Structure 1
């Protein structure tokens, strides 16, 4: 799913609407949040002129009656593709538009489009409104838009000092337990477009930890600024494309009682003939292949096994409530509970290792915390685009993969005809010694 949030600075001209429509169609957005529409009324004709989705619906806030050099102010419009997104209800405020979206497995969630006021007095009402939304929208909540305030001084190109609005913004994020994901490909989202430009990060997505559990691959990036002084912001929840992962030893393997004996047997397997370095590498390959098979047989898929055991325990509890359990079934339930505790322990060790938290003490049951950190590391390490020789920028996933292969192939290849090995190194060392 792709959600695009964009302060468009009005929908006055047909040419501007055409440019916006082309950009949204090219990006394949499923939900679009537009701020500062400057429209009193929004109808199907207007929505069709700015979004090409055939099946669509919308909710909006009309712009205010204030006028000035730029005409009417404000206005928020949320549009969604009804073939892909099912909206259960909507709530319209003075500064926000919120929709409740039907999620998978009954995990419904809320999305709020936000447009923060510039007026300092109106900001008090703004903070009160989004604080009220926190109570309404529940644990799975995502909000996006132009907040018209930065979080830190570093989000302003000309520096300055911290303000009360910044303090209110950070207090709200902390009290609502929201996550502020990094903007992957930009530092700022707004510019005054002058000779000595001033830059700010005014636009962003925020979401709760429970919402991120539903969309663990969510990452946001800035799109090209075309018709506004604001960058469109895209939140992409699609699965990350991954190649074959590197082999890593899991810490939970080392705690298994049969690991040492199995490892000894794999290591003592005949590695064939050849020089010692060659035989050593063969032993490592043998251990690696055996470890993969052994891990699947002994540990299996930790998360799948966890759900399976949980369902079995629940089924036995249901039987116990209806008709009671005999001695054999009671023993089976007790065995399943012990197995479930063991799986939780292995899962915790697994995520702690992947999160790379060195100060976490043995026994801390913070699997969710480690899971969030591991997901955060994966998003930060994601390569969305790559600059190659000649200044060319590659964004397609297949092209990025080919460029990386080509670079490392050239890096580790040699034009010399002689193959280097231990014998060559020893020969040169002896020659230098004499």
Structure 2
């Protein structure tokens, strides 16, 4: 009969301490060999009884870890993103089934969050759900769910929604979303294109999760009419001049399409040359204001300088309103009124939409098709004839910031140019 020492090639194993020492020595050697060849480091939180272990691994060329903290059911990596210099923490969690242990885990993580006031990514198996829809049975543990939600709210974390699928845990006929990834608001703003995907679970009950940028081909960027252009004092005259200059040798719908296409091209050019990049303009204006105000600290300003300062302050307000309008329009939050400085909120909503605005698959003729080229071939358009009265009523009834078609011109544009576009629109119908 072979003894343990013979199988593992340990000479004369006398007791369990020799065996444990050998295993630890081998682990240290394997870790050193792996780090030397892969530039990867790791840290393990070993299992204790029913408390499962956690293994955290990171690429040193991408994430420079300055501190590793750990406790029962969690590991925290604190460091810096090498590419962007972004300082933050990645905390992995393996919550236990027992509710009392989970409450202690939320308490420990609250303390950790208070001790390290930096942006967080919090991930993995929480063994708890927030909503009834997170379980196929619609069951929810009210006490546990409430405690979990309070913990997430106290840490000011926002959940990433999966790009496809609803559940991450499968056993028999039961399905639940026990695995999640949360992060701080500034993480969503710093990395707006991150999307959460669920991978095949293989032999495990849990599906692996990956948070990253979807490798999806970017197609042509469509034109979008911006509401802030309407604030330009000569904008209506500019639009009329472009419309009169546009193609007139065609008739019917094709004439309207050609004119709108010409209008979009010219407005793109005018936006960059005439209207200008508003955030760049705002930065330049604020720089000039600071220069004049700094000069005023050493002596009285001349009349011309004071007038220039007043003009710059007025332009600063105008640029600020333009920027807020653009972000409000990109976020598509029509219930917020202009004038409220919620730019961070608009940034967040716009980034959420950008991360979700991907068609991974579509159902075509009863079959699921995947891949951008195939989806493009399956695209269809719906058309129907309407009367001029119906058209005008629809234009005035709809929200002005909404675009009726893929050309990017919203209803505010059509209302503005209705007097000289109605004939071409009629012929197109």
Same fold (TM over 0.5): yes
Q: Is the 8 Å Cα contact of residues 252 and 346 (structure 1) preserved in structure 2? A: yes
**2:373 corresponds to:** 402
Superposition pairs of residues 158-197 of structure 1, within 5 angstroms: 158-192=137-171, 194=172, 197=173
Q: Residue in 2 aligned with 1:126?
A: 105
Is the 8 Å Cα contact of residues 42 and 57 (structure 2) preserved in structure 1?
A: yes
1:183 touches 1:220 (CA, 8 Å); kept in 2? yes
1:286 aligns with 2:265: no
Deviation, structure 1 residue 234: 0.4
CA distance in 2, matches of 1:133, 1:325: 53
Match of 1:209 in 2: 185
Query: 1-side partners of 2:285 and 2:311: how far apart?
Result: 10
- Distance (whole Å) between structure 1 residues aligned to residue 230 and residue 259 of structure 2: 19
DSSP-derived class of the 1:408 partner? coil
Please report how far the alpha carbon of residue 239 of structure 1 lies from its aligned counterpart in structure 2 after TM superposition.
Answer: 8.0
Q: 1:127 to 1:279 in 2, by over 3 A?
A: closer
Question: Quick check: 1:253 aligned with 2:229?
Answer: yes
2:92–2:123 CA contact under 8 A, matched in 1: yes
Shift of 1:201: 0.7
Q: Is residue 42–residue 60 contact of structure 1 (8 Å, CA) maintained in 2?
A: no
Say if 2:362 and 2:375, in contact at 8 Å, map to a contact too.
no
Superposition deviation, residue 298 in structure 1 = 2.9
Q: For 2:323, which of 342, 347, 355 is the aligned residue?
A: 347
The answer to whether the aligner puts 1:56 opposite 2:35 as a matched pair is: no
Distance 1:118 1:55 in 2: 35
Aligned to 2:396: none
The 5 A counterparts of 1:131-150 are 131-150=110-129
Whole-Å separation in 2 of the counterparts to 1:42 and 1:210: 41
Structure 1's 239 and 342: CA in aligned 2 closer, same or farther, altered over 3 A?
A: farther
For 1:333 and 1:105, the matched residues in 2 are separated by 36
Q: How many angstroms apart in 1 are the aligned matches of 2:84 and 2:320? A: 22
Q: Aligned equivalents of 1:151 and 1:266: distance in 2?
A: 54
Greater shift in the superposed pair: 273-282 or 376-385:
273-282
Which residue number in structure 1 is paired with residue 426 of structure 2?
none
The aligned residue for residue 404 of structure 2 is none
Aligned-residue offset at 1:248: 1.7
Give the Cα–Cα distance (whole angstroms) in 2 for the partners of residues 97 and 149 of structure 1.
Answer: 18
**Aligned equivalent of 1:378, options 341, 344, 354:** 354
Q: Distance in 2 between matches of 1:175 and 1:56?
A: 33
Aligned-residue CA RMSD (Å): 3.4
The alpha-carbon deviation at position 352 of structure 1 amounts to 0.8
1:151 aligns with one of 117, 130, 152: 130
Whole-Å separation in 1 of the counterparts to 2:34 and 2:381:
47
1:21 aligned residue = none
- 8 Å contact kept, 1:388–1:403: no
> Secondary structure in 2 aligned to 1:86?
strand
Do the aligned partners of 1:117 and 1:148 also contact (CA within 8 Å) in 2? Answer: yes
CA pair 258-97 structure 1, distance change in 2 beyond 3 A: same
Is the contact made by 1:149 and 1:202 (CA closer than 8 Å) also made in structure 2?
A: yes
| Paired residues for 1:7-406 under 5 Å | 43=27, 54-64=38-48, 66=49, 73-103=51-81, 106-192=85-171, 194=172, 197-237=173-213, 241-269=217-245, 271-307=247-283, 309=285, 336-386=312-362, 391=367, 394=370, 400-406=371-377
SS of the residue aligned with 1:102? strand
Shift of 1:273: 2.5
| 1:150 CA displacement | 1.0
The separation in 2 between residues aligned to 1:372 and 1:259, in whole angstroms, is 30
Deviation at 1:277, TM superposition (A): 4.0
- 1:377, distance to aligned residue in structure 2 (A): 1.9
State the 1:340 CA deviation. 3.7
Deviation at 1:215, TM superposition (A): 0.7
Deviates more, 1:335-344 or 1:125-134: 335-344
- Match of 1:182, SS? coil
**Runs of 5+ consecutive residues of structure 1 not aligned to the other structure:** 1-38, 68-72, 395-399, 413-434
Asked if the contact 1:216–1:237 (Cα under 8 Å) also holds between the matched residues in 2, the reply is no
Distance between the aligned counterparts of 1:163 and 1:300, measured in 2?
53
1:215–1:119 Cα change, 3 Å: same
- Between Structure 1 and Structure 2, whose CA radius of gyration is higher? 2
